[in-house]
Chains A and B, each alone.
Chain A
Amino acid sequence: MSARDLILGRLRATQHRLPDPVAPYRPEAPADLGAALAARARAVFATAEEITSLDDLPAAVARYLGPDITTLAVAAELRHLAWSAAGLTPAAPPGRAAMAASVAPVVGAIAETGTLILTSRDPHGPWPNLLADRHIAVVPRGLISATLEEAVARLAGNRLPRSLHLATGPSRTGDIEQTLELGAHGAVAVHLVLTP
């Protein structure tokens, strides 16, 4: 008998009481998803700001990074912006390599928890968050969902991507003496830039 048949056979041998299906959780969505997202993200050690035009992004990024970092990985779809005018040198995302800072759009965000969503379907995958010390996430307001469930449904389409990476605040660990330290493996700092 295969292990599969053995396991399923054993499980089917016992009848358990079947509780009724559970109502999905649908908390009331905040009126302003963007504001809620930013507030929740700030509560978990991220920073956030909003710009009124994507053209303002290079200046916002330069302000955020300060004078010490002038070269950063910029996602292909943002490379056309006027980076040098803001004093920055845009580089192509280096793939699976470390970077000091990276700016890339996310494919979604969750207002309830202040979460950013990256996906394997993007050419840069999850690396802007996982391999950059500073992750600057461009969040178009239209891509913000109220809840996790809504976000997954929106991104599923015909088939979920290989991976969705739901990142809430910077990477952290409490593994040494239960004391919070940021930047265990993924981004040490996360900055959200909300765009129209």
Chain B
Amino acid sequence: MTTLDFKGRAAKALHDPQLTGALARAKGHFALGRAAAKARTPDFEMLRDRATAIRRRSIALMPDLLERFEARATAAGATVHWAADAADARAIATGICKAHGATRAIKSKSMATEEIELNAHLLSHGITPVETDLGEYIIQLRGETPSHIIAPAVHLTKDQVAETFRAAHTDLDPARDISERQALVKEARVKLREAFLAADVGITGANILVAETGTIVLVSNEGNIDLTASAPRLHIAIAGIEKVVESWDDAGIVLRVLARSATGQDMSSYVTVLTGPAQGDEVGPRTSHIILLDNGRSTLAAGNKAEMLACIRCGACLNHCPVYTAVGGHAYGGPYSGPMGAVLTPAIDGLTKDTANLPNASSFCGRCEAVCPVRIPLPMLLRHWREDAYAAGLPTRGERWGLGIWRALSTRPWAYRLTQWSAARGLRFVSWWQGGRIKRLPFAGRGFTATRDIAPPAAKSFQAQWRGRR
């Protein structure tokens, strides 16, 4: 884990021109895609309303739905496991691999497995995981973590990818031309095809758990999930407990808003529908395990941030967030980034001085809530974290004192008047001193005036002027 805190990571990101370019490109791409999908879908807002209600119902009914899912999945021949935390989930996963003598794993992109840091654990148990989502494969080769929940390598250019492939695929002709994206995609296709067909175990996440049939639903655009779930003899799915919905009617609506909000597609290129293991003559793994992961979710369900569990991981809040698009995903210090990550990370890692930065680093512009397909009130959930942080005494002493003093002054008319009067005097003096504009302020004003020139205030406040007028 990194030693920098959020501010340090953000500063580093802001000074990386290559990253800035990548983020600008991605921002436009995703926001335009969603806007286009919305524009061509007359029922989009109605679908959002229904998806919102479906996900809220799923939270309210979660224990019942999970039991139903477990019963139906078990009846279909799958084995369902429950993991209270990351360590549990990792141990269950490696235990299954060992029991089946599996040493070569292929994986489809799964934020749950990023969350529990499964890959390092697998390696330490002699199981080699190969990520198969192209973006995830690239960052795995680079030893990085995903910087976006649906576009893990969004921070990289094609030249960086080419460099990475040259370093990793040493068996290929060093003189080959991989300067174009198409060539890179093709090279990964060939390399990963070998891995798919050689693997003993496929490890996936889950986008939706359908309680009525005990089914796992996954989405991808590359088709790598279908291969991961069908090519090896053993399949393990790791799913956050909040992924459960009641019925296929519910799942259908969630899929419709998910694809449109994530990539601007009406339907993801591949939707993989998995119910139990292969039976009889069926193609596919003969053994199927599902690990239901809690890792802080049931605690989240009990508090005032329960609505976060409605999240369907589309990434729209990242793509429309001015903070995310300025600093990128790595600044958030965990697998989840942007507004959803700022709510989830403190829940998973605990609220500390550093993780408390995440809910604080928001201008509360509200765009995340405006684009969220399931209308999660993200700014309000961030605010609740700020309240928790404030109650825990995490803000700096300066901030707490400042707020206390402001409260005391602002509720006493004479004190408020005196404050405004002296602030105006002070700022006018500074402005005069600095040549007619406020160019440098100390303390809290330092950051603001580092890049701004502010015209000085009038000598008399509005309230003073108004009293004078009457």
Complex contact flag A–B (Cβ < 8 Å): yes
Measured CB to CB, the residues of A under 8 A from B are: 2-4, 6-8, 10-14, 16-25, 27, 40, 44, 96-98, 110, 112-115, 120-127, 129-131, 147-149, 152-153, 156, 159-179, 181, 183-187
Task: Say how far B237's CB is from chain A's closest CB, in angstroms.
Answer: 12
B253 interface residue (CB < 8 Å to A): yes
Whether A185 contacts B189 by the Cβ 8 Å rule is: yes
| Contact of A171 (CB < 8 Å), options: B154, B197, B222 | B222
| Contact of A168 (CB < 8 Å), options: B133, B268, B288 | B268
| Contact of A153 (CB < 8 Å), options: B25, B84, B226, B248 | B248
Whether A165 contacts B272 by the Cβ 8 Å rule is: yes
Nearest A residue to B80 via CB reads A4
B residues 165-213 in Cβ contact with A at 8 Å: 181-182, 184-186, 188-189, 192-193, 196-197, 213
Whether A186 contacts B270 by the Cβ 8 Å rule is: yes
B residues 52-66 in Cβ contact with A at 8 Å: 53-54, 56-57, 59-63, 66
What are the 4 A-B residue pairs with the smallest beta carbon separation, nearest first? A186-B223, A125-B283, A175-B135, A184-B222
Q: Which of B249, B284, B288, B302 has the most CB of A within 10 A?
A: B249
Which chain B residues lie closer than 8 Å to A22 at the CB level? 50, 53-54, 57, 249-250, 253
Task: Say how far B374's CB is from chain A's closest CB, in angstroms.
Answer: 12
| Contact of A184 (CB < 8 Å), options: B30, B47, B50, B189 | B189
A-B contact pairs, 11 of them (CB 8 A): A11-B66, A16-B301, A17-B56, A19-B53, A25-B47, A162-B284, A163-B273, A167-B269, A171-B221, A176-B156, A186-B223
Which chain B residues lie closer than 8 Å to A186 at the CB level? 222-223, 226-227, 269-270
Whether A176 contacts B184 by the Cβ 8 Å rule is: yes
B residues 83-101 in Cβ contact with A at 8 Å: 83-84, 88
Which chain B residues lie closer than 8 Å to A131 at the CB level? 193
Which chain A residues lie closer than 8 Å to B221 at the CB level? 171-174, 184
Interface string of B415-452 (1 = CB under 8 A from A): 00000000000000000000000000000000000000
Contacts between chains A and B (CB distance < 8 A), count: 256
Q: How far is the CA of A109 from the CA of B134 in the complex (A)?
A: 27
| Contact of B82 (CB < 8 Å), options: A7, A14, A122, A165 | A7
B252 interface residue (CB < 8 Å to A): yes
B residues 25-54 in Cβ contact with A at 8 Å: 25-26, 29-30, 43, 47, 50, 53-54
Task: Say how far B142's CB is from chain A's closest CB, in angstroms.
Answer: 13
Which chain A residues lie closer than 8 Å to B9 at the CB level? none
Task: Say how far A7's CB is from chain B's closest CB, in angstroms.
Answer: 5
Whether B269 contacts A170 by the Cβ 8 Å rule is: yes
Q: Interface segment, B274-282, B324-332, B458-466?
A: B274-282
Whether A25 contacts B249 by the Cβ 8 Å rule is: yes
Whether A126 contacts B226 by the Cβ 8 Å rule is: yes
Q: How far is the CA of A2 from the CA of B81 in the complex (A)?
A: 11
Which chain A residues lie closer than 8 Å to B127 at the CB level? none
Whether B189 contacts A183 by the Cβ 8 Å rule is: yes
Which chain A residues lie closer than 8 Å to B184 at the CB level? 176
Q: Which of A20, A148, A176 has the most CB of B within 10 A?
A: A176
Whether B306 contacts A14 by the Cβ 8 Å rule is: yes
Q: How far is the CA of A178 from the CA of B161 in the complex (A)?
A: 13
B residues 257-295 in Cβ contact with A at 8 Å: 263, 265-279, 281-285, 288, 292, 294
| Contact of B306 (CB < 8 Å), options: A6, A7, A16, A183 | A16
Q: How far is the CA of A187 from the CA of B189 in the complex (A)?
A: 11
B215 interface residue (CB < 8 Å to A): yes
B67 interface residue (CB < 8 Å to A): yes
Which chain A residues lie closer than 8 Å to B213 at the CB level? 156, 160
Q: How far is the CA of A25 from the CA of B255 in the complex (A)?
A: 12
B410 interface residue (CB < 8 Å to A): no
Which chain B residues lie closer than 8 Å to A185 at the CB level? 132, 189, 192-193, 196, 222-224, 227
Task: Say how far A33's CB is from chain B's closest CB, in angstroms.
Answer: 16
Q: How far is the CA of A18 from the CA of B64 in the complex (A)?
A: 13
Task: Say how far B265's CB is from chain A's closest CB, in angstroms.
Answer: 8
Whether A25 contacts B252 by the Cβ 8 Å rule is: yes
Q: How far is the CA of A19 from the CA of B56 in the complex (A)?
A: 7
Whether A113 contacts B185 by the Cβ 8 Å rule is: no
Which chain A residues lie closer than 8 Å to B271 at the CB level? 115, 148, 166, 168
B138 interface residue (CB < 8 Å to A): yes
Whether B269 contacts A163 by the Cβ 8 Å rule is: no
Nearest A residue to B255 via CB reads A148
Given contacts A10-B302, A14-B306, A176-B184, contact A126 B230 (CB under 8 A): yes
Whether A3 contacts B88 by the Cβ 8 Å rule is: yes
B151 interface residue (CB < 8 Å to A): yes
Whether A11 contacts B181 by the Cβ 8 Å rule is: no
Task: Say how far A121's CB is from chain B's closest CB, in angstroms.
Answer: 6
Whether B267 contacts A113 by the Cβ 8 Å rule is: yes
Which chain A residues lie closer than 8 Å to B185 at the CB level? 173, 176, 181, 183-184
Whether A120 contacts B282 by the Cβ 8 Å rule is: yes
Whether A162 contacts B275 by the Cβ 8 Å rule is: yes
